[in-house]
Structure formats: structure tokens, C-alpha cells
Structure 1
Amino acid sequence: MLTEREVKILSLLANSGKSISIKQLANMFGLSERSIRYDIDNINNILKEKKLPLIKRESEGKLLLKEKQIIINYLNSIDSFQYTPEIRRKLLLYEITLSGKINITSISKKLNTSRSTIKSDVDELKNIFNNFHLNLASNYKKGLLLVGKEEDIRKLQLKVFLDNSKMPKVDSVLFNPIIENFLNGLSDIKMIEDFIFNIQQGIGKIISDEAYNILKIYIMISVIRNKLNHTLKNIENASFLASTDEYMIIKKNKEILNKGFNINLNKYELLKIADLFLGSHSYNFSQSYYENWIEVEVLVKKLVENFSNKYGLDLTDDKELIKGLINHIKPTLYRTQNNIKLQEFPLYAEVIKAYPKIYEITSNILKDLENFIGKKFDNDEIAIIAIYFKVSIDRNKYKLKTNKNVLLVCGLGYGTSKLLEQQLKQQYELNVIDSIPLHYVKKYKKMNEVDVIITTIRDKFPEVNKPVLVVSPILTHEDIIKLDNNNLQRLKHKTRLSELLNIIKSDSKIEDYNNLIKKIKNHMGDSLIDDLVHPDRGILDLLPLENIRVNVAVLNWENALIEAGMLLTHNGYVKESYVQSLIKSFKNFGSYMIIAQGVAIPHAKNENNVLKTGMSLLILKNEVEAPDKRTLKIILAFASLDNTEHLEALTQFYNLVTNCNFKDKVSNMKHEEDILHFICNHIDTQ
């Protein structure tokens, strides 16, 4: 009988369009090559018994599997193999959630385990169902049925799909048959994609890739549930939702889904989709409605008038500003009323440092609105609105320069694109005409105005008739060379603030030094280099010798993060609670924190538990497996007091890893002093 891992290996070989080596499989599963060879031998023994094509070993450890379709058919026909308890329970969760029922006798035979084991597994899953207000009811003929409100069932189904989308490929092969069986009733997903695109066009808002994925999955679920005659019967705050522009646009385009899938979505189905669009920057599974809706156009015009009066520049005729704020303010109110936090890169620290006056005025003009809804706006929400005003000020204060038009495509959201835009504008003469998510590229209507696309997405980029430059969210030395080589003009005539102040001091007496600095910054904007107050702190400033450990023995990635976090704790950088924040953050987003093979940079948001910005570095004795099954050897954990102070050091570390063969050079070093000496010697050469 095949084991769970052997099924995964066989599925990878059968479904891969490229050859896979024993070494690659060993890295995927975090095992030795010898263990993989044992698995291949066992797989071949079973394939031989079944008189099926065998896996052949070729030169350089490459594995060859001919007649792959025969193997795929065999995998689909397998009734049972050896599952771990964790995988078995997850399979049961998927089966119950998506099919709505389970027969203990049938599933025990399918999973080749006892009825008592299945019953015990189901009992453990009941806590999950209870969290979604769902229960399992016994039915004499059908077994156990999942019962509860239709909206709650869909919430759990959505959670299962999102869990599956984040699952490593080597694991997902076990769950794909259940997913595919559920989706069997969908003929053409492209109709759902067209529907979402039309809604975005209608409301004038491009949603993030994360929100797009959630909406797409939810609509797939809604279509299938409607085909099974499981429809929504009511929805809270229906009158409010029915008054929104989102609902009207969705209602107008409903026939795309109705005719395409031969269904008839009722009013409540359409209201639920409108509800998701309203909170499309970030969605959670709690109630999320804003009952006391106000006339957004009137609100926005009042905000623009107040800002214009306080700033001293008339922006009331700026149609782009008013349109942008009208589209943005709805989800902002929605998230604020329901305590939904922006999940993307925080903007507050960046904006308050670069544009303090604009942020201060924006914060002040929003106070009346805060009093009205009874909630305070999050700093990052205020920062985003401040950026709208900053762009409008530039548009009304200066003539448009004839620079290259750049389209930014970033998968991680608004904060990442704004951070990249600021870095580009600090170094190059260019005009960023838009920032969009990946899924919107093919349907972007102003592509004829674009000279070059700059993106942080390294694979699966659609074909477009424009130059595409791939860079890191934090520009590296290699990125700068790439941009230079593609004829982007370097920014000229930038003035250092320190030099300007020295000239002023040499010929006059400064009575209010801080006020002068503030006025200079406000007047000169992006043409000024602020080198006065916050000099960049590099890795040598944030990573002292006492924060480095070599040959560290740990059992798993969690123990490694505890070691790294406690170094920061003991040396006065963070409170003890930050260690748990570090673990939670890496568990949820670890795949984004692994920057190279074997190298991770775990970090967490400052929740009043960071005392000062700092880093700790661990060189592990043995590699450990990360949550996404990749192996780790080097851990650079860091904490940032203001979300920006660490950027220079992080850029230097990234360059060490990518340009200086850091992992291989330091992995076998025996002393912490040697690590620090290596860093010192190579920082200046970058």
C-alpha cells in the first residue's frame, strides 16, 4: 500500500511538465535523498504488481515517468493508502464541508481505517463546525449531515478553499479530488472573471489580488449552491446594501451568471456579493455592515473644501481627486465601522515622515466624520487618504513632466506599490500613471499610454506588448542596474537638506530652526533629500555581536523563532509578547518571508511590544522545515519600531544573500565574530 508521501511523489511526477530529480524531491519534502530513493523503490514495487509503467532513474538523479495518463488514472482510482492523523482529519473536514454529509462506514473503508477512528476524528472537527454555528445531524439513510444557516455553510466552504489555495503543491494533490468534485458543476470560470471585471469597471474601483481571489471563490461557491437549490433567504441590513452603487451595478450584470450557469440569483444573493465588494480591501468572517450610510458625494466635497482651506490651495475643481475619494471612502468607512484592519504594508510611518503637514490636515478634517460614526480612523487609513491629497497637490501645483510613463504591478497590495513608487521617484525621472494588481493587467484600458511596466511579480506574468522589468519591493543594487540599463533617466537636481541649512546659517540667524525645516520640506517636496534627522541605519547598526548565534540546535522552525525572538527580548529590543507575534506571523505568512533557499527573515507588526529596532541572526546546526515545507538554515529575525527604520539594513542583508553567497559562506562558521567580520568586509563592496 502506498503511503501518503508516496502518493504525493507519484502525483508530482505524473502531473509535472518538466523532469524532476531526486534532489528536488528531497528539498520539497525536507528529507534525505536516500529516503526519497526508498520511496521510489516502494512505489515501483507497487506499480510492478499492478503491471503499470515504472519510474526510471536517469543520469544526474533525474526521474522519468512515461505514459503519465495511465498513472493519473491509477491515482484517481486509489481507494486507500496510509494517511497521517492530521491529513486524515483535514480530508474529513473538506469532505463534510463541501459535500455536506459523510457516511462513517463508507469513509472508513475509503481511508482504510476503523469506524471508531473516524468517529473520533469527526468529534475533534465539531469544534470547527461550532465556530461557524454549524452542527452535524444524524440521518438514518445518509449518515451525518452538515446543518446550519446557508450563509454560515458558505463561510466555512470559503475558508476551506482559501486554505487549499495556500497549501503547498505537494500537499494539495491529496485534496484536489474533493475540490474538483465540488466544482464539477462549473462549466466556465471565465464568466465569473468577466462578471467581476464588469463590476470593477462599473464602480470605478480596481480591487487587490487578495480580494479578487476571495470574490472569485465566493461566487463559484454561490453558483454551485444555487444549482443545488441552496439559496440565501435573507441578509442583514438589506435596505442599506440595496441603496449602494455596488448593488445596482451587480444587479445590472447578474445575467452574466444567470444565463452562463442556468441559475436565477435572488436579491439576497446579489446583496451578499455587494457586501463583499464593499469591504473588498480586506474580508473577515464576522458581520461587516455599515448601517448609517451617508451621501458620499456630499461628504467628499466637504472634505476637499476643508482641506483646501487649511492647506491654502484650492483643490475643489480637481475631478480626479473627487472621483478617487468617492470610490475610496466607501470601503474606508466600511472597514472602520467594523474594525477591519488593512492587511497590507503599513503606510502611516512613511506618510507622516514624508508629508507631515498633509497628514496632519487630513487627520483634522476627518474628525467630524469620526464623531458621526463613533469610531476613530486607523492611522494607515488616514495615511491613504492623505496620499490622495498629496497627489492632487502635485497635480495642481506643478506642470506634468514629459517623463516615461510607468505602470506598477504589485501582488501584495497598495502599501507595497506605494513604497516602490516612492523609491522609484527618489531616483528616477518618471511618471507613475497607475498601480494595479496582476489579475487586472490584461484588461487595463490605458495600456497604450504605458512606456514600461515595473513589477514585483517574478512568474506567471501575462504577455503584453510593453517592456516588463521585474524588481524587488525594496530596490536592490541589481534592480538599480537593471533600471539604468533600460533607459530610465536618473533624477537630477536633488538638494540635500543639510547643505541647504548650512548655506542659510552662514548668512543669517535662524530663530525657529524646526519651523524652518518644516517649511523647506513642505515647499521643496520630492526634490529634497532629508539627510538631517534620520540617517539610514544599516545592518551593522541593528545587528550587534551579542545578537548573533552560530551552530544553534533546534527541533523545528518554532523553536528557531523562539531562540531568535528571545535574543531580541534579552537584549532589550522587544517585549516577550513579540516572540509569539513572530511565530504567529511566520505561520501565516512564512512563504513571503523566505527570501532565498534556506534563508528566512521572520518579523511581525509592532503591537506596542517593540522597544527599539533591531535584528538577531541564527545559523542553525541542522536545517528545519518551514510551514510551507521548505528547509531553513539561516534565520534573520527583526523588529521595527516605526516600520521603516529597518529598511536599509534589510536591503543590505538581501544583497549579502543574493550577491555574496551568504548562506554557503557562513553556514559552517564556528564563531559569531567570524559572521560579523564577513558582514563588515562585504557591506562596503555591495
Structure 2
Amino acid sequence: MIHKRHKEIIYHLLSADQSLTGEQLARKLSVSTRTIRSDIKTLNEILAPYEVEIRSSRQHGYDIGKEVRNSDFLERIIQQEDLFSAVPNTPEERMSFILFKLTSSLDYISMESLADEVYVSKTTISYDIKKIIEFLKPFPNLELGISPVSGLYLYGTESAKRIVLGHMLSREKLSEVGSVLLKLSNLLVTDNIKRDLFRIYDMIVVALNEAGYSMTDNDLNLLTVDFLLSCKRIQLGFNAEFNGKSPDISSIVSKFVTELERIFNIRIGVEDRIYLQQSFKAKRVMKMNNEDFVLDEETRQVTTCLLDEIRQKYGYDFSANQTFISNLSLHLNSMIHRFRRGQYDDNPLKEEVKKNYSLAFEIATLIIPILKEKLDVLINESELTFIALHIAVALEEKLEKQRVAILCGSGLSTAQLVKRRLLSHFGDQMNIVGHFPLYQLPQVMNKEFGAVHLIITTLPIQGNYDIPIIQVNPLVTREDLDKIAQYIDMSYYPLVMEEKGQEGLRFLDDQLFERFNGEDYFESIANLCRRLQVGGYIENEKKFYDSVLEREGLFSTIMDSGVAIPHPMEAASRTSIVAVGTFKNPIRHQGRKIKLVLLFAVNTKEREMLAAMYGKIEALLDSPAGIAAAASAEKFSDFLKVLKNV
């Protein structure tokens, strides 16, 4: 019987201008050369009655003779629908098939039987199994048993198996999930599966709207797939398990259960109802207009502890920011339920968050010991970056608007024009204190009209003043707006000004710079720790070093850009400072390239200094050219020059 891969072999041979080797065909179809040989043999047996043959040559490979290339029979083979569509052909399809097979098997499955079922060689199956082993790593509640004699067996609970199947299907668009499952018709009841998928989707949307909930699109799709898988597993006789006191089932989940029982003509038992409720609670709710929604007590405790830690360690008090607290609590509530299920969300923007919101990410790490102590769970780096995004928004709101005074000598109309131009472009970033004539400059400087962060003037002003002054055209040109924007952006992470009036970076010290040649990552950290000790910035070099390694053990601080930002678990420095290490030749650590090390030693009470440090480092990380120049710096002065210009 001809199936999809056979058709693809014929297509590639007919499309080629010359013979194709077994290796070339194997690469095109993502199988082994042994599988190709087996397929060619099968094809020739099928094609023999039609006097068509795929010729083989050890020297040249495989081809189809010119005399039969235009055969109507071959054309019909390529154009017809698959005669054996249930056979998985691609590596992804085989992976889905094997995982579903393993989750449904009550006994070991031999590699040979799997190879026979999907028409590939045992070598190809071995490659597929390696990918499955890698895929299962984030799921600690599942273990793939491999026996040379018996074969393969997937150990784990039914709940864990449903979660991993759902994770596998989540890589597909919702519209494609039905097509993927149709390939598994010999493992699942697939009648009307596409229709059922969208009936579940519509059912959830209607119930969410009626209950006053709002859910992310991604989580809505995940919940749809999870409900479908659960019903299909129940049809096969696989039921969820639950140990402990049965919780009350919420009204919205009860509605789901009633409708699912009707759609699939099944009975959903207590354990499966609990599983469906856990699945619902693990999804992120964006907002709700429903008094029935109650945060779990453990979520309240974790949120309160995190806010207290942020206030104590970093000095940021978010207790009055109810929007932040509500959004954070909703996220933590679903996150904790995911952790309970052994389920972790992946953030595709993880590296971008770490690079662009490094301060928020470090603040987010405060939740690690809280979760460990209160819930005995570990959070992964991706989940941590989601929390960092919530904190980043709250930090931006904490940044005080710039108080701006306008100095104008041309009358009220010009002053009003300048004011309108400024507010139309920077209304969310500045407050206009007022507009004043030039002679009132001394009063403005003396804060007689209140605090002023920036003076914008249409008149030239001579002299040195404590408040920054920007001169603009009375019409406020695009060039003027760019100058103002540059200042406002810089003011978010203010730089410390040296006595000479030059832009300084007080969180750097020329004695805390080292050019490495041959040292590995940990040796470079140790050397920089020693410099911190000698400089009097830290009290205990060994304790500081051990804390840095402990932090590295949680999540690597090495960025994709080759910049590492190691730091200790706890603030342990008299003042906030950065020790810098560059490498004559880039090194590798745990498979990641390193060309620049920035060892942070912070005092969390120095909020302005921390803002300056993280702001400047974020600017550096956002500049590939800046990173390259900084990494090649051989002297502190070279590095300082680069950092001043980013």
C-alpha cells in the first residue's frame, strides 16, 4: 500500500535532474537511509506490475528511467489522496504518534513494533525516542522507562500524561489540532473531532462571557485542547486520579462538565471533574467581573510576602497600586496551580525581558525563596520573566513625571504654543509647572514655584545652573523634540554628575576592571570578587563568591549576547558597584559563549544608583555594537568610553 512518504520519494525522484543518493532522500524526508532502502524496495514491489522501476546504483543512487517518467500511473500516484493517511510521516507526526501510543499502553512497547507501525527503520525510531526524551525533561512527574529487552514504557499519572499531550499539541494552531489528531485514528476516537474541537471552544467562550471572566487567547486555546484530550482519554477508559479532600467544583466548571458529557456521551467522574477544575484554574484570567471568583489563600500570602520583600530590599512600596496587585495576584494564582500540576509556561521573550528589564527581573527573583518556603515549589526562569513584566510596569509607573518650567520672552501665545507642543508629545512623562519670563529665572532655580527638574527656554541662557536647561525654537521643531526626548529617557535612569560637570558613572571603579586571558568563568568571577574585597566594597570575599555561584545555580545570568551579569543571592555590598571583566578570547561555560562579565555588587537602599546601574547596562545590552566594543576593551578607560556613549 502506498502512503505519503512513498509519494514524496517518487515526487523527489521525478523532480530531480539527476540521481539522488539515499543520504539525500533521507535528509529530505527526515528518516534514515535504511528506511529509504526499505521504502524503495516496497515501492518497486508495488510498481512492478506496471512495468515501472526505481533504479538503484551504488555509485549514483536512485532514479526513475526517462522512458517511464511521464507515466500516467506515476502522475495519478502523486495527485491522489493518501491511501494510508493515518501513517505518520514527518518527525513531528511520529513524535505525536509515539507519545499517544506510550500514554495509552498498559505494557512495554518494543522499538520494532513501533518501527513497523510507522513504516520506518529501528534507527529512525531511535532518533525519534531521543527527541521524546528531551521533550519530557520539563515534566518531572513522567519518566520514560527504556529496556533493551522489553522496550519502552511511560511511567506517570494520568493527569501528567494529559498535560504532556496538551503541551505537545499546543505547538500547533488550534485550527490544525484536529488534523493532527486525525493522524491518530487508530489510537483515539476521531469521528467528528474537528467539529468537537470548535464546539468546546464555543462552549468555553459562552461560559466565560456569562460568568464575567476574561482569559488570554493562548490560554483559551490551551483549555480547549485540554478539555478535548480529557474527554478522548475518558472514552478510552483512562480516568484522572486525585488524593486528598475533594474540593468544591465551581459553578462554571460544573457547566463545562454538563456540556462535555452531552457532546461526547460520557460520564465524567469526581476525579475528572477535579482535573478539569485544576486545568481551568491553571489558565491565566486577565480580569473578572464576578464576585464568585476568589483568590486562593496561598496566593494572597505569596503576594503579600513578595510586596513586603520588595519594599524592604529595594525600597519600592507598591501597596497603593491596586491595579498592579490585582494583576500580579491573578497571574500568581494561575501560576501556582500550574506548578501543582507539574506544568510550566514557556516565555518566548525570556531573553528580551532579562535584557531590557534587568532590574525588574532581579526584583522578581525575590519570589524564589518565598515559593520554596510556603509551597515547596521551584519556579523556572520563563515563569520568572512573566512576573518581571508585571514588576516592570509598576516600576515605570513609579517613575516621577518630569516637572518642567517654560521660559519665554515672546509673550503668552508663544508660551502656550510651546506648552501644547510639549504636552502633545510628552504628556505622560512631564508636568508643566508654568511659563515664566527670563527675569524670574532665579526664583525658578530657588524652587519658589515648586520643584523643577528641567527648564525649556526659547531664549539663550548663559552660565552654569543646577537644573538642566534646553533651548528650543519657539515653534518647537522635530530636532528640539528629539533633544527633549533624549533627556527624558536619560532621566529615567539618572546618571551621577561629577564635580567637573562631566557625565560620570559612579558605579564603576578603575580598580575593578580586569582583562582575562585563559581564565574560565568561575575563575574570572573569583578574581573580580577579590578586587571587590581589596577595594573595601564587600566584607567577606568567600561568602560573596559562594552566594554568586548559588545564584548561578538557580538560573544562568549569561545572556545570548555573550554578556554575563553574575551577582549574589542577597545584597551584600557597602555601596552599589559593578566589577568588569573582558576576555582576550571569548570563553564558553555550559555551552554558552562569554566575552564580557559584569559582576554586580549592590546596596538595595541606593535606589537612584541602582536605577543608574541597571539603566546603563540595559542600554549596553540593547546595543550589539556597544557590546562588541566593551568586550574588546583592554583598559578601564576604553570600557568607560564605550559605556558613556551607549
Please report the TM-score for the alignment, with normalisation by the length of structure 2.
0.45
With a CA cutoff of 8 Å and minimum separation of 6, indicate the structure with the bigger relative contact order: 1
